């Protein structure tokens, strides 16, 4: 050892990679990632494709049996997701409490990004590794926007401007059409500055009483011990509870409070197949209040079904709707094999189901307006054509793949991200969110990684 502090980071996703970047010059950092490091330059498939059976944790929802996509690869979820770059409304972070409200998170959000259209704005960044942009719109995006304007929704050129709502292009972390997440943006900045152990699973955190003193890992070198002065867990909303359990750590409320955005697809067919593909992956986005409360937001966006489901007809066009401030909470519990047992419990609360039904009705009006122009055709048996939408949305609800809050601040970890009841052990990932933001967790988790790295440095006297 060099005499400097040794920090082991268990997990190389959005939180772990960004934290490693902040700490690499201050300590000896060992970054342990269970999945592969695809290398630099990033292979084409990790920039453009959306199915990764060899880079997935193979989780499923216990109630529905639906597959839950989680990236088992350097960069984590941002290496396999749709590269949406939405932050959510400042009001959604108020419930996070002292040290984690919007004004606290904004420096991290600004530090990670270069916003190509609005980088000079006070609420944006203009020098970070993550490129955020808005892509050109295709005919179906334009038709969706026109229907939204006719319904009274305003134009929204920047969905990341605080307090704004309306319809406009998705903010997306893409470069030349490919996703630009932690793998593309941060891994090249980190590889030569840390001891990166890819294809290596952290089996457990090693404890001396209540103090973390290292990790036991299994990888190409076999099973080995890595001693550490500090261990940071960055294994995500499902993996962090798993690792805490495997380590025999008895912190409060592990796995309690899990949240995800409930998501539905309303499928139509484009009149012209060319219209579907004359658009980017991330096109138009509508954000609006479900009823009279603008803070109770729902999202609607259309996309090519075929890009995500190659069994779908190429004319198929999915208009998706998501409830962004759900009250329902799920759980991550420990299975007999120490794997996470996940219950998302979407729309378990009656208020969520009723609000989702309202959002679907409002979305159906937009679809009808598009159909009236002839650009899309609505199936005669469209599932949303019913007077009793509550059971219909409950039967069809899916995951937006935005799991957070399974080890939340104020429950499993304190406001300095320490695992309660331990020393030398912190969590820096999406699991620490106290509740779900009303944007995607992609950029927010990177901001947690940035701020978490700063907290680690300050608490250890490294800064």
Q: Tens of pLDDT along 433-458?
A: 999 999 999 999 999 999 999 999 99
What is the arithmetic mean of pLDDT over 109-138?
A: 97
Residues 437 and 447 sit within 8 Å (Cβ to Cβ): no
Report the alpha-carbon distance of residue 248 to residue 209 in Å, rounded: 11
Residues 223 and 240 sit within 8 Å (Cβ to Cβ): no
Residue 309: pLDDT over 80: yes
- Supply the mean pLDDT for the chain: 96
> Coil, strand, or helix at residue 302?
strand
DSSP assignment letter at 155? B
Residue 416: pLDDT over 70: yes
Report the alpha-carbon distance of residue 446 to residue 15 in Å, rounded: 5
pLDDT tens for residues 44-99?
A: 999 999 889 999 999 999 999 999 999 999 999 999 999 999 999 999 999 999 99
Amino acid 433: pLDDT: 98
Phi then psi dihedrals of residue 180, to 5 deg: -125, 75
Q: Which residues contact 185 (CB under 8 A, 6 or more apart)?
A: 129, 130, 131, 173
Report field, pTM of the whole predicted structure over 0.95: yes
Which residues lie across from 178 on neighbouring strands?
Answer: 175
Banded pLDDT at 2 (limits 50, 70, 90)? low
Neighbours of 32 (CB within 10 A): 25
Amino acid 3: pLDDT: 75
Token pair recorded at residue 225: 């011990």
Which residues lie across from 413 on neighbouring strands?
Answer: 409, 419
Banded pLDDT at 278 (limits 50, 70, 90)? confident
Residues 321 and 360 sit within 8 Å (Cβ to Cβ): yes
Token pair recorded at residue 265: 């697809």
Residue 122: pLDDT over 80: yes
Residues 350 and 376 sit within 8 Å (Cβ to Cβ): no
Q: Which residues contact 93 (CB under 8 A, 6 or more apart)?
A: 100, 101, 102, 105, 437
Token pair recorded at residue 252: 């409060």
Residue 1: pLDDT over 70: no
Neighbours of 271 (CB within 10 A): 18
Residue 349: pLDDT over 60: yes
pLDDT tens for residues 137-146?
A: 999 999 999 9
Reported as type and span, the H/E element at residue 16 is helix 14-23
* CA distance to 54, 409, 430, 456, per residue, from 97 (Å): 39, 9, 16, 19
Neighbours of 156 (CB within 10 A): 21
Report the alpha-carbon distance of residue 408 to residue 331 in Å, rounded: 12
Report the alpha-carbon distance of residue 121 to residue 113 in Å, rounded: 12
Q: Quick one: CA torsion of 32, 76, 39, 225, rounded to 10 degrees?
A: 10
What is the architecture, at CATH level 2, of domain 6-130+177-257+402-459? 3-Layer(bba) Sandwich (3.50)
Q: At what angle do helices 102-112 and 441-459 cross, to 10 degrees?
A: 100
CATH 3.30.410.40-classified regions of the chain: 136-169+262-323+347-396
What is the arithmetic mean of pLDDT over 394-422?
A: 98
Report the alpha-carbon distance of residue 429 to residue 451 in Å, rounded: 11
Banded pLDDT at 203 (limits 50, 70, 90)? very high
What is the arithmetic mean of pLDDT over 398-427?
A: 98
pLDDT tens for residues 180-200?
A: 999 999 999 999 999 999 999
| Percent above pLDDT 70 for the chain | 99
Residue 291: pLDDT over 90: no
* CATH class for the domain made up of 136-169+262-323+347-396: alpha beta
From the number of C-beta atoms within 10 Å of its C-beta (0-12, 13-18, 19+), residue 388 rates as: exposed
Which residues lie across from 36 on neighbouring strands?
Answer: 73
CATH 3.50.50.60-classified regions of the chain: 6-130+177-257+402-459
């Amino acid at each position: 050892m060099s005499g400097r502090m040794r920090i082991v980071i268990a997990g190389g996703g959005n939180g772990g990679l960004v934290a490693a970047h902040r700490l690499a010059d201050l300590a000896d950092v060992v970054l342990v990632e269970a999945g592969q490091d695809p290398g630099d330059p990033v292979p084409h498939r990790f920039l453009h494709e959306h199915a990764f059976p060899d880079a997935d944790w193979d989780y499923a929802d216990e109630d529905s049996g639906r597959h839950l996509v989680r990236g088992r690869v350097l960069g984590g979820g941002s290496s396999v997701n749709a590269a949406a770059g939405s932050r959510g409304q400042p009001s959604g972070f108020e419930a996070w409490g002292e040290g984690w409200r919007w004004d606290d998170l904004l420096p991290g959000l600004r530090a990670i990004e270069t916003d190509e259209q609005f980088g000079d704005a006070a609420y944006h960044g203009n020098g970070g590794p993550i490129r955020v942009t808005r892509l050109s719109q295709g005919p179906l995006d334009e038709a969706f926007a026109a229907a939204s304007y006719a319904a009274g929704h305003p134009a929204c050129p920047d969905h990341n401007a605080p307090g704004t709502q309306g319809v406009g292009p998705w903010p997306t972390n893409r470069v030349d059409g490919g996703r630009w997440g932690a793998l593309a943006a941060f891994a090249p900045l980190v590889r030569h500055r840390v001891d990166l152990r890819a294809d290596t699973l952290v089996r457990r955190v090693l404890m001396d009483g209540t103090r973390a003193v290292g990790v036991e890992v299994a990888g190409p070198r076999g099973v080995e011990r890595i001693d550490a002065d500090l261990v940071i867990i960055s294994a995500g909303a499902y993996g962090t509870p798993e690792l805490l359990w495997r380590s025999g750590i008895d912190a409060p409320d592990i796995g309690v409070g899990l949240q995800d955005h409930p998501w539905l697809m309303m499928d139509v067919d484009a009149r012209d197949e060319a219209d579907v593909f004359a658009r980017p992956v991330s096109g138009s986005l509508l954000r609006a209040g479900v009823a009279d409360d603008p803070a109770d937001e729902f999202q609607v966006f259309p996309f090519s079904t075929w890009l995500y489901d190659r069994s779908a007809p190429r004319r198929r066009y999915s208009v998706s709707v998501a409830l962004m401030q759900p009250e329902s909470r799920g759980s991550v519990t420990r299975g007999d094999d120490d794997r996470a047992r996940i219950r998302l419990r979407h729309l378990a609360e009656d208020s969520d189901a009723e609000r989702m039904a309202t959002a679907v009705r409002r979305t159906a009006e937009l679809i009808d307006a598009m159909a009236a122009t002839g650009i899309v055709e609505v199936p005669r048996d469209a599932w949303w054509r019913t007077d009793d939408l509550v059971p219909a949305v409950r039967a069809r609800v899916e995951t937006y793949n935005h799991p957070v809050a399974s080890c939340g601040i104020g429950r499993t970890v304190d406001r300095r991200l320490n695992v309660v009841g331990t020393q030398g052990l912190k969590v820096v990932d999406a699991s620490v969110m106290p509740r779900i933001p009303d944007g995607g967790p992609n950029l927010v988790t990177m901001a947690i990684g940035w701020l978490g790295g700063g907290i680690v440095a300050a608490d250890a006297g490294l800064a």
